[in-house]
Amino acid sequence: MSNKDVILSNQAELTDLQIAKAEEIQNHLAKVKDGADSIINAIQAKNADNKLGLADDLNKFVAVYNELIHAQGDIAEVIAALKGIKGMDEAHD
């Protein structure tokens, strides 16, 4: 095996590990989003008439939720980029 082959093989392994970790993060974010959806829906249902005075707290939670959605988009971009790198590496084998 040439030095180039060893380097490409090692790079492919590292890329596979990075993809796996990024996908694991993506799965965790999806679980957090599902939990957040449940919490938001429950608060909205219990506070429909705002008698509990939770509107401000709910708005703050929604801001955090929006950051979660942004993080999901970011990790999806990272996964796509890593898979693109892997595809280019495989094409050069």
User: Is the model's pLDDT at 77 over the cut of 90?
Assistant: yes
HEC string for the chain: CCHHHHHHHHHHHHHHHHHHHHHHHHHHHHHHHHHHHHHHHHHHHHCCCCCCCCHHHHHHHHHHHHHHHHHHHHHHHHHHHHHHHHHHHHHCC
Which segment of 1-15, 45-59, 75-89 scores lowest on mean pLDDT? 1-15
Q: Phi/psi of residue 47, each to 5°?
A: -115, 30
Q: Where are the domains of the chain?
A: 3-91
Which pLDDT does position 63 carry in this prediction? 92
pLDDT in tens, 11-33: 888 899 999 999 999 999 999 99
